[in-house]
C-alpha cells in the first residue's frame, strides 16, 4: 500500500512539474515578444520558477474550494500563444476555472471560448510607443525600480530604463553601483547578469544599456546627448517635494514628466494606484506616488469604506527602520530618531493617515495616525482601528477583503493571507502594497481592528511602477476584467 501511494504521489507531482516547465518558456515568449503577461488568480507567472507556478495553481483551492490542475490551464496558455492578440494581462487561472468548472466546456470548444473571451484584444495592433525612463537617485527604491524594469526587458517592453542620475563619479563608483544592484541584503541577488562599461560610464544588465549620469542638480543634465528624449524622470532622492523644486527636472533637455517617490506637497497629486490613478491626466507633468504607508493602507480603507462606511479610526504603523535613522546613537534633528535604529523601538510621527485623504477624499478628517520604528530592515505593518458605520463580524469582513483581493479593481493592491504562522520575513518581495492578515482580524459589532502587512520597499516600488505605466500611457487591459 505504501509503495502504491508513493508511486501515485510521484506520478502526480511529476505531471505538475512537467506542465510547469512547459509553461515557463511560453510565458516568457508571450511577454518578451507580445507584451502579454500571464497570471493565475492575480499572481504573475513572469520569471516564475516551476515551483512558483505549481504553488500559484494550488492557491486556487483556497479561494474556489476545488483544485485547479496545470493540465487544465496549460491548453489555454498554449492556445493564447498562437492567437494574434494585443498587449494585455491574461489570468489563465480564472479562464481555466471558468471553462472547466462553470460547465462551459460542455457547450463550447476551447477555441470558441477564448475567441469570445478575448474578443476585445484579438486581432488588435499594439499601439503603444516605447517610453524612456530615468531614475534620479539610486538608493533603496531606485535600485528596486531598476530591478523591476530590467526583469521585463524585451522587444515588446514599453518602459525602457535608459539612465540613472547620481552624485559622485570618483574612481570605483560604477563598480560599487553595480555591486549594490547585483546584491541586496534584504531582497537577495539580482536575477541576471550585470557588467560595467567604464569607457561609456554605463551598466549593462540583462542586455539593457543603462547610462550612469553624474550630476549634483537637474540643471546639470542634458539627457538628449545620450539619445534620451521625452523621458519620465523618477525622483527617488526626496530632495524636492513641491512643484517649484520638482519642476527643475523639466528644465533638463529630454525630460517630459516627473514622478516623486515620496509624498508631494502643495497641489501635487498624490497617486495611490488602484485608488485614484484615474485622476492622472495626460497634461500632468509632476506627480507623487505618495508614501509606502499611504499605499499600504489606502486600498484597504477604500474597500472597507465602500462596503461598511468608516466613521473614524486610528492607524498605528509598526515600521522597519530606514536610512533616515542612525545605526548608533548620534545627533538627529528629529525627536528620538537619533537613537540606535538597530537596538530600539522608536516612537515617531507619520503623516500617512492624513495623507490618505489626498488619494481618497471621503476620509478627510476621519483618521489619526502614529508610528513605531522597529529593529527590522524591511516589511512593516499597519494596524487599522476603525469605527464602522455598520455592524459586521470577523468572517464577513475577511470574506469581503479576500474577494476584493481576487475579483475587484484593487486586486493588484490588496493581497490576503489566512496563515496562522506568517511573520514579517515571509512577506519580503510581496508585489501587492497591502497584505491583509485575516487571522489577526478583530471585530466587535461596528468596531474593527485589521492588521495589514506591507513590504515597504518592494511592494511600494511595484506601486510606483504602476503609476509610471499610467503616466507613460502604456497600461493594458486585464482579462477577464476584475
Active site residues: 292
3-state secondary structure of 167: coil
Distances (CA, A) of 49 to 20, 27, 194, 291, 477: 8, 11, 21, 31, 25
Q: Which helix H or strand E contains 369, and what residues bound it?
A: strand 367-374
Alpha-helical regions (H) of 45-196: 50-64, 70-81, 92-101, 110-117, 140-150, 173-182
Within 8 A by CB and 6+ apart from 433, the residues are 292, 295, 296, 299, 413, 454, 459, 460, 462, 463
Q: Are strands 346-348 and 367-374 parallel, antiparallel or unpaired?
A: antiparallel
Calpha distance 236→151 (Å, rounded)? 20
Say if CB 427 and CB 421 are below 8 A apart: no
Say if CB 35 and CB 14 are below 8 A apart: no
Work out the angle at residue 452's Cα, subtended by the Cα atoms of residues 450 and 453, and round it to the nearest 5 degrees. Answer: 155
DSSP 242-257: SHHHHGGGGGSBTEEE
Say if CB 236 and CB 246 are below 8 A apart: no
Give a three-class secondary structure readout of 10-41.
Answer: HHHHHHHHHHHHHHHHHHHHHHHHHCEEEEEC
Name the maximum alpha-carbon separation found in the chain.
76
Distances (CA, A) of 109 to 49, 96, 105, 277, 362: 30, 13, 6, 38, 47
Grid cell digits, residue 195: 557588467
Amino acid at each position: 500500500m505504501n509503495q502504491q501511494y508513493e508511486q501515485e504521489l510521484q506520478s502526480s507531482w511529476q505531471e505538475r512539474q512537467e506542465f510547469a516547465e512547459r509553461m515557463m518558456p511560453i510565458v516568457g515568449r508571450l511577454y518578451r515578444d507580445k507584451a502579454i503577461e500571464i497570471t493565475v488568480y492575480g499572481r504573475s507567472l513572469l520569471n516564475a520558477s516551476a515551483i512558483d507556478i505549481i504553488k500559484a495553481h494550488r492557491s486556487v483551492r483556497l479561494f474556489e474550494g476545488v483544485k485547479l490542475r496545470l493540465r487544465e490551464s496549460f491548453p489555454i496558455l498554449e492556445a493564447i500563444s498562437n492567437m494574434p492578440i494585443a498587449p494585455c494581462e491574461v489570468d489563465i487561472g480564472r479562464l481555466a476555472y471558468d471553462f472547466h468548472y462553470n460547465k462551459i466546456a460542455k457547450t463550447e470548444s476551447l477555441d470558441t471560448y477564448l475567441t469570445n473571451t478575448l474578443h476585445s484584444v484579438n486581432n488588435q495592433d499594439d499601439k503603444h510607443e516605447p517610453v524612456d525612463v530615468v531614475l534620479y537617485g539610486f538608493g533603496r527604491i531606485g535600485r528596486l525600480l531598476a530591478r523591476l524594469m530590467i526583469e521585463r526587458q524585451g522587444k515588446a517592453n514599453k518602459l525602457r530604463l535608459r539612465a540613472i542620475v547620481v552624485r559622485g563619479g570618483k574612481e570605483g563608483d560604477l563598480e560599487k553601483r553595480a555591486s549594490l544592484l547585483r546584491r541586496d541584503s534584504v531582497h537577495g541577488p539580482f536575477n541576471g547578469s550585470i557588467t560595467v562599461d567604464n569607457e561609456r560610464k554605463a551598466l549593462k544588465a540583462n542586455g539593457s544599456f543603462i547610462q550612469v549620469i553624474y550630476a549634483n542638480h537637474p540643471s546639470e543634465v542634458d539627457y538628449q546627448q545620450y539619445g534620451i528624449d521625452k523621458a519620465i524622470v523618477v525622483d527617488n532622492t526626496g530632495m524636492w517635494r513641491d512643484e517649484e523644486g520638482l519642476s527643475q527636472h523639466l528644465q533638463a533637455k529630454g525630460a517630459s514628466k516627473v514622478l516623486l517617490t515620496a509624498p508631494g506637497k502643495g497641489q501635487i497629486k498624490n497617486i495611490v494606484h488602484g485608488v485614484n490613478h484615474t485622476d492622472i491626466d495626460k497634461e500632468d507633468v509632476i506627480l507623487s506616488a505618495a508614501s509606502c504607508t499611504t499605499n499600504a493602507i489606502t486600498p484597504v480603507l477604500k474597500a472597507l469604506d465602500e462596503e461598511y462606511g468608516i466613521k473614524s479610526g486610528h492607524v498605528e504603523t509598526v515600521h522597519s527602520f530606514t536610512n533616515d535613522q542612525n545605526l548608533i546613537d548620534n545627533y538627529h534633528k528629529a525627536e528620538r530618531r537619533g537613537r540606535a535604529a538597530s537596538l530600539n523601538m522608536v516612537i515617531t510621527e507619520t503623516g500617512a493617515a492624513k495623507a490618505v485623504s489626498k488619494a481618497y477624499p471621503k476620509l478627510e478628517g476621519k483618521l489619526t495616525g502614529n508610528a513605531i520604528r522597529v529593529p527590522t530592515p524591511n516589511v512593516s505593518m499597519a494596524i487599522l482601528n476603525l469605527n464602522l458605520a455598520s455592524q459586521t463580524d470577523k468572517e464577513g469582513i475577511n470574506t469581503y477583503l479576500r474577494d476584493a483581493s481576487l475579483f475587484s479593481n484593487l486586486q493588484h493592491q490588496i493581497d490576503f493571507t489566512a496563515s496562522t504562522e506568517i511573520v514579517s520575513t515571509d512577506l519580503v518581495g510581496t508585489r501587492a502594497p497591502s497584505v491583509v492578515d485575516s487571522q489577526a482580524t478583530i471585530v466587535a459589532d461596528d468596531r474593527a481592528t485589521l492588521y495589514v502587512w506591507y513590504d515597504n520597499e518592494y511592494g511600494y516600488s511595484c506601486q510606483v511602477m504602476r503609476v509610471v505605466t499610467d503616466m507613460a500611457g502604456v497600461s493594458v487591459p486585464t482579462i477577464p476584467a476584475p
